[in-house]
Amino acid sequence: MTNAVSRLLVAAAGLPIVLGAVYVGGWWLFALASLGSVVALHEYWLLTRPLSPLSPAGYVGALLALVGAELGGLGWMLGGALTAFPLAFALKGISASRQVPTASISATVMGAIWIGCGLGFLLLLRDLDHGRLATFAVLIAVWAGDTLAYAGGRLLGRHRMAPSTSPGKTWEGFVFGTIATIFATFVALYDDRHEYLSIGRAVALGAVIAIAAPIGDLFESMLKRDAGVKDTGTLLGGHGGMLDRLDAILFAAPAAYFMVLALT
């Protein structure tokens, strides 16, 4: 099976599940986000194994962040994520690992905040007025941008965007991805332009997503390059691991959430 066929099959199977959970919202979306968080954190612990992360503390912090987002909002989400810090400190105190505490605790807390809060912002976005539409728009825009950036880079890519971090990404692909992201956001929000976000505001939201999503991708690429791996796993076939699929969303969701708050 070719990489392209594998990517298509995984997308065909996964998209209805994700979009269905967003449509229903509530605890269904929470359950899917929690599952994605646990799998992504597992892959993250493998990436950061040399730093001896304190994984139980990270799991607790990430899941409490999601619980806080679902039940209490932004403040409770952040409070839940930050429980990873004292828990990691306590676990480090009884750990037999020789890794310096700064590295172990920092890696643990970063995982809880990056992944737990990144997905938590999707829950917060879904809970806003017109949140179902906004969440659909963000996810579709991220997927469209990623797909067109990949295709554009393969076809016309000549100038590397970040040679030392992700040699496969090009400025040509970035331009294709940006156009696709903005266009997808515009289309997704067009029918509600008089009741929700105007055309100009939808384009502005698309532009923010178009910037945030590639930064999330590059951030994860930096971690993978540091660990000397191409993908974080093989769970999703040609897409790689769960973290490879979530990397852009983990940055795009917070950016979109605050942009929507600013525009409404």
Averaged pLDDT in 10-residue chunks for the chain of 264 residues: 63 83 94 96 93 94 97 95 95 82 93 97 96 96 90 81 80 92 95 92 97 94 84 68 92 97 93
How many helices (DSSP H) and strands (DSSP E) are in the chain?
Answer: 11, 2
Looking at residue 2, what is its pLDDT? 57
Contacts of 13 (CB under 8 A, 6+ apart): none
DSSP 103: H
Question: Cβ–Cβ contacts within 10 Å for residue 23, how many?
Answer: 14
For the chain, first and last CA: distance in Å? 46
pLDDT of amino acid 6: 64
How many angstroms separate the CA atoms of 96 and 241, rounded?
Answer: 30
Check residue 238 and give its pLDDT. 59
pTM score above 0.85 = yes
Nearest Cα residue to 157 out of 184, 176, 138, 136: 176
b/e string for 85-122 if b means 16 or more Cβ within 10 A? Answer: bebbbebbeeeeeebeeeebbbbbbbbbbbbbbbbbbb
